[in-house]
Amino acid sequence: MSLPPALIHGRTVQGIAFHKDQKGPGLDAVVQFKISIGRDGRVEHIKVLSGDEAFVPDAKEYMKSANFGAMPNIPRLANARREWEFEVAFFTPKK
């Protein structure tokens, strides 16, 4: 599962379910989170697991703008929880 890319401070940013990427050529930073999604599909809680502190605020902003779709109104899903480990990768700007 991945989120659409976005441009933040000149860098392309992409969110993907925990992929365990590492910094390297073309990849400036990776911030890893555990996220909880509300019934409305919006991110309710973000816990930072690892990553470059300088990129955490932008990564959180990116995740908070994501929408994972609302839960269907089905009684058996009334207590369902959606939690994932997710990472946000920051790619080197093209020159």
Structural domain includes residue 1: no
* Number of domains making up the chain: 1
What global pTM score does this model have?
0.77
**CATH number of the domain within which 87 lies:** 3.30.2420
Structural domain includes residue 55: yes
Query: Which neighbouring-strand residues pair with 54?
Result: none
Structural domain includes residue 51: yes
What are the tens digits of pLDDT across the range 15-60? 765 566 666 677 889 999 999 998 889 999 999 999 999 999 999 9
Structural domain includes residue 61: yes
Structural domain includes residue 52: yes
Domain span including residue 23: 6-91
| DSSP class per residue in 8-42 | ETTEEEEEEES-----BTTEEEEEEEEEEE-TTSB
Structural domain includes residue 18: yes
Structural domain includes residue 36: yes
SS (H, E, C) 38-65: CCCCEEEEEEEEEECHHHHHHHHHHHHC
